[in-house]
Chains A and B, each alone.
Chain A
Amino acid sequence: MQALIDALGLGPTLELLALSPPGWGGNLLRGLVNSIQIALGAFGLGLVIGTLGAYGKLYGGPVLRDLLAIYTTVVRAVPELILILILYYAATDALNKALIGAGFERVQISGFAAGIAVLGIVQGAYATEVLRGAILAVPSGQIEAARAMGMPPLLLARRITLPAMLAFALPGLANLWLIATKDTALLAVVGFGELTLETRQAAGATKHYFTFFIAAGILYLALTLLSTRVFGWIERWARRGEPRIGGAGR
């Protein structure tokens, strides 16, 4: 193994990427963990907003529907970077004004919470559209049958609509999750220490730009490929019990 490393001239690279302090590998991994945590938080928040938004768009009154249309249109038309800046400054400012108005001290919102909130709001707009389409794809007879049996709306959502729409929503949601993991990189611009910013700092300090950016690229790519796999499994699970199309006799 050592001979192979020497033969390929990988020694200095491995030293740079070592996990303990002379190397920067530990920083990169910490950045990756931060990125994944923020992506998970943002994706979860986006799912909550998306579910509520989809129900609002489908069953809400005319005013609510128009407001939701404005929300999804604006968020999807304005670059994420600018939304992050607007929400980051505006939300911090508004919260502090409210706190001072109520007689409390100013607080410094952590980049972590702000990142989750901002990316969650962005994800929510896309998730609203994905989930709305998926709910529409559920055969209406099933929902009508549940209503006819006198099922209350929440039970109907939990037992019928949400499980039945999951298979239709999963491809879109998988895409959203991948977007969430990549959008965490944008938080580097507001100075939050996720993978891309850690990478840039490591690269800047050592002047080995290619090494670190490619290492970070491999980490992102591994995350993407792994996520695709996992979502494939979840989709197979969500589609259990569905008849196989064109698979007669198997």
Chain B
Amino acid sequence: MTGWLQPHRIVLAGLGLALAVWCALTLRWGWLPEYTPLLLEGLWRTIWLLVVTVVLGMALAIPLGLAQAAGPWYLAQPALWFCTIIRGTPLLLQLWLLYYGLGSLFPQYPWIRQSELWPILRQAWPYAVLALTLSFAGYEGEIMRGAFKGVPRGQLEAAKAMGMPRWTMLRRIWLPQAISRALPTLGGETVLQLKATPLVATITVVDIYAVSNRVRQDTFIVYEPLLLLAVIYMAITGIIVLAFRHLEQRVPTRRA
């Protein structure tokens, strides 16, 4: 009776299946066909936000971590303060500060309103991307600091002894090892970032959460859209976890 398939698990799975069938049959899903295109659009926007902010945030986190791990004090201190402030205040507050604050500041300057960028700045998504990117960079920068510090000194000294220029050393030795150290936590941070994306609905970005809100307001159906939303987020989380597990296995590590 070893392994995954034990009698009580079969019973639990049966109960779960019965619950799913009950949900599918008795709850009201009539709104689903009408809103499917909107839902898909929202889903696409959620995933787009997640990917873009994780990539940009990671690009920002590497210099932040490097500055704290090895930089001179005039770089290390600001980086430390940035990470502390981002990690010490709620994301919702940061999001609203940027959206309402910058959003009310920009129209006061005519040259911004006349510039090419204004049609973009007038929309909500740039603020959502900015806030989520900064937030991810703040959390991940702290992790990268530890990862940079965790690379054994001998490796860097060997590279230096071989006469490797500093930039090549960073690119070939330091950064790859730091990233492979940070990979397990990076997966967790990405899941946390996914769970932060619905907040952008509060500043009128139409992600999948905003679509489900609209369904609720249009049809007065409360539970079904939320249940669907929970299932969709769980599915995306599952995909992220599997993807990072796959990635981790591909990075060669020496285990004692």
Contacts and interface: CB of A to CB of B under 8 A. Distances in A.
Given A81-B199, A209-B101, A63 B88 contact: no
Nearest to A204: B100
A220 B96 contact: no
A118 to B, nearest CB: 13
Contact of A82 (B103, B222, B233): B233
B46 to A, nearest CB: 10
A213 to B, nearest CB: 4
A77 interface: yes
Contacts of A224: 87-89
Given A66-B9, A85-B226, A86-B226, A77 B93 contact: no
A217 interface: yes
B97 A220 contact: no
A9 B229 CA distance: 48
A98 interface: no
A187 to B, nearest CB: 10
B237 interface: yes
B20 interface: no
Given A62-B6, A63-B8, A82-B209, A220 B90 contact: yes
Contact of B230 (A78, A200, A207): A78
A217 B6 contact: no
A217 to B, nearest CB: 5
Contacts of B256: none
Given A188-B92, A221-B89, A210 B97 contact: yes
Interface string B219-256: 00011001101100110011000000000000000000
B199 A199 contact: no
Contacts of B195: 78-80
A113 interface: no
B63 interface: no
Contacts of B199: 81, 186
B178 interface: no
A213 B227 CA distance: 33
B209 A220 contact: no
Given A209-B101, A213-B93, A213-B97, A79 B196 contact: yes
Contacts of A76: 191
A221 B233 contact: no
B48 to A, nearest CB: 17
Interface residues of A, number: 41
A89 B194 contact: no
Contacts of A14: none
Interface in A65-117: 66-67, 74, 76-83, 85-86, 89-90
Interface centre among B88, B97, B194 (most CB of A within 10 A): B88
Contact of B85 (A67, A78, A189, A217): A217
B105 interface: yes
A217 B198 contact: no
A182 interface: yes
Contacts of A90: 223
Contact of B233 (A77, A189, A200, A216): A77
A220 B8 contact: no
B104 A207 contact: yes
A109 to B, nearest CB: 15
A209 B89 contact: no
A182 B87 CA distance: 9
Interface string B96-124: 11001101110000000000000000000
Contacts of B89: 182, 217, 220-221, 224
A182 B91 CA distance: 8
A213 B96 contact: yes
Given A78-B233, A90-B223, A221-B85, A185 B90 contact: yes
Interface in B1-55: 6, 8-9, 12
Which interface residue of A178, A182, A189, A209 has the most chain B CB atoms within 10 A? A209
19 contacts: A63-B12, A66-B9, A79-B196, A81-B198, A81-B199, A82-B198, A82-B226, A83-B230, A85-B226, A89-B226, A186-B92, A199-B96, A204-B100, A209-B101, A213-B96, A213-B97, A217-B97, A221-B84, A224-B87
Given A77-B234, A82-B229, 13 more contacts: A63-B12, A77-B233, A77-B237, A81-B209, A82-B226, A86-B223, A182-B89, A182-B91, A213-B100, A220-B88, A220-B89, A224-B87, A225-B84
